[in-house]
């Protein structure tokens, strides 16, 4: 099967033009076919603040009322997505900017209210990997903003880590898939106050221990939950690394490699 690398980028890298340029240059240089899924939460928070819209996060996830949905649609699907696509064009990558609504690629439903009402947040039902594979066959590189759509035609804010995992899992039908989560840390840290305390590998048992101790918390929890789910669902390899180490992580090994 053909090799495919699915990369998710988020964190402070999105906010830093120089860091983003370095990352996109490395992404463009990866061998084989590839897909990029990006976040952009801090930009959305800044825009929301300027508009007088309060940002509320629960367990690393954004509460999304209609006003916040308007903001994340503008920021994720517009500003951030198109800046990334434009930059990739200059790096000889024929990128196509997408949300899950485009070509019906990622269908979701509004998350039911349980302990927390997350608002217009989507839980993914289906990825059209055949459609995405068609883009790849046309030598297009999909760049996904973390927005999905529902059967009722609503746009839904969807966690970018979840979206990356779901896309990677469904693309296993067509490719041997490596999933890489890039952000501003060197990997999963055993000590959150020490940037050099990178765990070279991580199992579910060790993850549970660190989560219980509080050394792994906040936004790392949905990231790792989705990463382990991807492994259980057929993704060949999952790595979490610093954005500046993307090429090294994919080709030689860097950051934290997850194993079951």
* 168 bridge partner residues: none
Binding residues: 40-41, 62, 157
Q: Name the one residue in this structure whose structure tokens are 């009322």.
A: 65
Among 99, 219, 238, residue whose Cα is nearest residue 168: 238
Q: How far apart are CA 250 and CA 254, in angstroms?
A: 8
Q: What is the pLDDT along the chain (260 residues), one digit of tens a residue?
A: 799 999 999 878 998 999 999 999 999 999 999 999 998 878 888 999 999 998 888 866 789 999 999 999 999 999 999 999 999 999 999 999 999 999 999 999 999 998 889 999 999 999 999 999 999 999 999 999 999 999 999 999 999 999 999 999 999 999 999 999 999 899 999 988 888 899 999 999 999 999 999 999 887 888 899 899 999 999 999 999 999 999 999 987 889 999 98
Q: What is the model's pLDDT at position 223?
A: 84
Helix axis angle, 160-171 to 129-137, nearest 10°: 80
* pLDDT score recorded for residue 1: 79
DSSP 176: E
Query: Can you give the pLDDT at residue 60?
Result: 65
Q: Let me know the angle formed at the C-alpha of 31 by 234 and 196, rounded to the nearest 5 degrees.
A: 75
What are the residue ranges spanned by the domains of the chain?
A: 2-258
Which SS3 state, helix, strand or coil, does residue 51 take? coil
CATH topology of domain 2-258: Carbamate kinase (3.40.1160)
pLDDT of 131 reads 97
- 8 A C-beta contact, residue 158 and residue 147: yes
Q: How many CA atoms lie within 13 A of 97 on its CB side?
A: 16
The answer to whether 186 and 244 are in contact (CB under 8 A) is: no
* 3 state SS of 53: coil
Q: What are the DSSP calls for 4-16, one per residue? A: EEEEEE-GGGTT-
List residues bridging with 189 in a β-sheet: 198
HSE-up of 128 (CA within 13 Å, CB side)? 18
* Known binding-site positions for substrate: 40-41, 62, 157
């Amino acid at each position: 099967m053909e090799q495919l690398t699915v990369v998710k980028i988020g964190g402070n890298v999105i906010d830093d033009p120089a860091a983003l340029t370095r990352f996109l240059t490395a992404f463009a240089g990866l061998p084989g076919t590839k897909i990029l899924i990006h976040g952009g939460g801090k930009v959305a928070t800044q825009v929301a603040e300027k508009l007088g819209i309060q940002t509320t996060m629960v367990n690393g996830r954004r509460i999304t009322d209609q006003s916040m949905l308007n903001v994340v649609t503008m920021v994720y699907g517009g500003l951030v997505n198109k800046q990334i696509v434009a930059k990739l064009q200059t790096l000889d990558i024929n990128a196509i900017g997408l949300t899950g609504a485009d070509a019906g690629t990622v269908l979701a439903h509004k998350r039911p209210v349980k302990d927390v009402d997350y608002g217009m947040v989507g839980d993914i039902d289906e990825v059209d990997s055949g459609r995405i594979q068609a883009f790849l066959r046309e030598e297009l590189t999909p760049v996904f903003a973390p927005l999905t759509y529902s059967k009722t035609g609503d746009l839904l804010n969807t966690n970018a880590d979840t979206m990356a995992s779901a896309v990677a899992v469904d693309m296993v039908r067509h490719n041997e898939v490596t999933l890489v989560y890039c952000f501003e840390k060197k990997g999963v840290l055993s000590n959150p106050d020490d940037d050099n305390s990178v765990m070279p590998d991580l199992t579910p048992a060790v993850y549970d221990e660190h989560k219980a101790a509080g050394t792994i918390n906040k936004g790392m929890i949905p990231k790792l939950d989705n990463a382990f789910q991807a492994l259980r669902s057929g993704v060949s390899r999952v790595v979490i690394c610093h954005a500046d180490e993307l090429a090294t992580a994919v080709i030689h090994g860097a950051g934290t490699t997850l194993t079951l």
